[in-house]
Copies of this chain bind each other. A is one copy, B any other.
Amino acid sequence: MMLCPKSAYHHGDLRDALLVAAEEQLEEEGPAGLSLRKLGRALGVSPGAPYRHFEDKDALLTELATIGFRRLYEMMLAEQEGAVGGQARLRRSGIGYLKFAYAHPGLFRLVFGWMPTGDAPQRTESGDAAFAGLVDILEQCARENLLREDPMSAGLLAWSAVHGAAFLMIDNNLKLCSLEPDPEMIGNQLHHALWSGIAK
């Protein structure tokens, strides 16, 4: 392992460098503006070099999406740290979801909105894990006898709501509701209405 490359010829850690630079370009210019050649140029490497580490552009984006999904899940876990009770955990993990989307809108959109040629299996695995986390929380709620419905139905609504709010936030559509794009605030408001329903 060569962490400090002395030779200009071999970069030493091109694969990781590509992923880091790719995420940066993704946030700045979207998936269309991301170019392997540009990445190579930015890292002082030839146009063909990235292909030693990724089969093609889709492969890089798929890996980025997989990493992004894992980081989203980690953010949800980190945010529930210390929360006790199913309701609090649900609220905090939703806020984690929104915080991630707000901090990394390009990556968030890549993870969900952009499917690199037919359901990459690794990405789906990450998704399974994240959803399993949500179900775990809702099952705790069920054990605590808090739920009106079965965990799956509640899970659909909870996930849909936070997922949709994340998109509305990063697409700057919240102004239609006269709301600021503040993950903490939106998350709390969402949770409140979700928990007790919108009807009398």
A-B pairs, top 3 by smallest CB distance, nearest first, are A197-B197, A164-B164, A163-B164
Which among A19-27, A71-79, A169-177 touches the partner chain? A169-177
Q: Which residue of B lies closest to A196 (CB)?
A: B197
**Cross-chain contact of A153 among B156, B165, B193 (Cβ < 8 A):** B193
8 Å CB contacts to B: which residues of A150-192?
152-168, 171-174, 176-179, 186, 189-190
Counting every copy of the chain, the complex holds: 2
For A160, list chain B residues within 8 Å (CB): 160-165, 168, 190
Whether, in the assembled complex, A14 has its beta carbon less than 8 Å from a beta carbon of chain B, the answer is no
Whether, in the assembled complex, A4 has its beta carbon less than 8 Å from a beta carbon of chain B, the answer is no
For A178, list chain B residues within 8 Å (CB): 152
- Contacts A164-B163, A165-B164, A167-B164 known; A147 to B109 CB distance under 8 Å? no
Some 18 contacts from A to B, beta carbons below 8 A apart, are A113-B113, A113-B171, A149-B193, A152-B179, A154-B193, A156-B165, A156-B179, A156-B193, A157-B189, A159-B164, A159-B168, A159-B177, A160-B163, A160-B164, A160-B168, A194-B197, A194-B198, A195-B198
Q: Which residue of B lies closest to A176 (CB)?
A: B131
